[in-house]
Amino acid sequence: MKHEWSNRLTFILAAVGSAVGLGNIWKFPYITGEYGGGVFIFAYLICICLIGIPIMLTEIALGRRGKQSPVNTILQLSQMSGAHPAWSIVGWSGMAAGCLILSYYSVIAGEVMAYSFRASSGAFVHQSVDGIKGILTNLTSDPEKLLAWHTIFMGLTILSVSRGVKGGIEKTVSFLMPALFVLLILLVIYAMGSGGFTQALDFMFTPDVDKFFYARNDYGEYLMDASGEKVFTWKPMMVAMGHAFFTLSLGMGAIMMYGSYLNRHVSIGQMTLTIVLLDTAVALLAGLAIFPLVFANGLNPAAGPGLIFETLPLAFGSMSAGTFIGTLFFVLLFFAALSSAISLIEPTVAWLIETKGIRRIKATVWTGLSVWFIGLATIFSITGTTVGDIVENIFGDVELKSDILNYNLFQIIDFITASIMLPVGGLLIAVFAGWVMDRDSTEREFSFRSPYLYQVWYVMVRYVSPLLVALVFLNIIGIVNF
């Protein structure tokens, strides 16, 4: 593939943009405070070293080695290694997962865009809890509004990607990511004077060994065994392992795709470490921007996804300069969402260009429209439609009895992608690089200054990372419970 990043910085910005998303901004700070603060951060950094860095190194190296879309890269490298072409399923799985994730990600990002305008108009000012809930209900119960915002967001994604690597993706991320960091820093500076900054620091960073090692119920009370001792749990470690994998956009082909545009003279190791550090920095800064406002206003830090659309708007509505700060916050989320969306759609667009020989604009429009159409399933889900409702509408009254009929399509797509396709994809990537490709190929691609660094990567990607990702996968689907 002839396209390459203009320089190292654009690759870093694009990869960080892929990694930093909506979940990264609200989830990591929350789980850090929930599972022991400084102890959890230490465990998370260990997991990053054992899972995140080895697999990210691998994806970038495979992408640069193949210089094509993930599907064609894995197919070509399989043939070069004398392996079965069926290994290309790794690329197909990642490409499909990216499109499916974007289909619901776009709907949620559309809600973020809607909230940006609501915040700027002062809609949250002096609102009660019921008033804030009413704003959310008014949006999520109206399929036409959700469809309109979903369409606008997908249109912006298509526009950014259709202009090419240098003319579209580079220019977009070169604006979005610096702007995201500036907005984050402004929000942190404001949060420092909000009155809840000390509480936020304690919540996120104070080491609490008991929170990390012992089980608690939904009320935060420690569980006791028959002898009156606290019940030991591995759950926080599993959460740290899972987040170390998912936060870097691994297993979906995005990082491999971006790696294919990387110049061969660039150090993959340095790039990976920089991306990981920036991704972690964004998550921590987000916590320092969000939780001081939460604590200063006496709100619940454990609100989870509701933190974005219910808890924080309540805080913005009651604080001085809340309209301005709220607008900045939702614009920040929009920037994070758009940079991630670009990386999710690019692998499929590149595959269409390579395989079907069509122009980028046409490939992007067709891919974007397909993702937009699948996104309708999430809109139906948000407005209350379940699988059972759809079956009844199509086939009339049926006598099927299954728990899945009570799920909505968004829940099914989310489970298939996040719980199955991504961890299995990451596992197969590690196995492919560690067991299928010959050592000479990977050693030449990395070109580590020290042979010991390559040996460390080789052991990690061959044994440690696959085992840990397999544990994450088995824990998510409930086969192994910790």
What residues does each domain of the chain span? 8-374+415-476
Query: Within 10 Å of residue 68's Cβ, how many Cβ atoms?
Result: 23
End-to-end CA distance of the chain: 45
The reported pLDDT for the residue numbered 435 is 95
- Sign of the dihedral defined by the CA atoms of residues 404, 406, 409, 413, in that order: negative
Tally of residues, the chain? 482
Residue 229, CA distances (Å) to 215, 224, 226, 232, 233 in order:
11, 5, 7, 9, 13
Q: Cα–Cα distance between 185 and 419 in angstroms, integer?
A: 33
Q: Cα–Cα distance between 47 and 209 in angstroms, integer?
A: 17
Do 63 and 259 contact (CB within 8 A), yes or no?
A: yes
pLDDT in tens, the chain (482 residues): 468 899 999 999 999 999 998 878 878 888 888 898 999 999 999 999 999 999 999 999 999 999 999 999 999 999 998 999 999 999 999 999 999 999 999 999 999 999 999 999 999 998 988 999 999 999 988 999 999 999 999 999 999 999 999 889 999 999 999 999 999 999 999 999 988 999 999 988 999 999 999 998 877 789 998 888 999 998 899 999 989 988 899 999 999 999 999 998 899 999 999 999 999 999 999 999 999 988 988 888 877 677 888 888 988 998 888 899 999 999 999 999 999 999 999 999 999 999 999 999 999 999 999 999 999 999 988 876 655 554 444 445 544 444 555 677 888 888 899 889 999 999 999 999 999 998 888 888 888 878 899 999 999 999 999 999 999 898 888 776 76
Provide CB contacts within 8 A for 454, sequence distance 6+: 442, 443, 446, 448
Tokens 């614009």: give the residue: 331
Domain spanning 8-374+415-476, CATH class = mainly alpha
Token pair of 30, please?
């929350």
Strand partners, 216: 222
The reported pLDDT for the residue numbered 228 is 87
* Burial bucket for residue 35 (CB in 10 Å: 0-12, 13-18, 19+): buried
Could you give the 3-state DSSP secondary structure of residue 358?
coil
Tell me which H or E stretch contains 2: none
The reported pLDDT for the residue numbered 395 is 43
* Burial bucket for residue 438 (CB in 10 Å: 0-12, 13-18, 19+): exposed
Residue 86, CA distances (Å) to 198, 245, 432, 469 in order:
54, 24, 12, 21
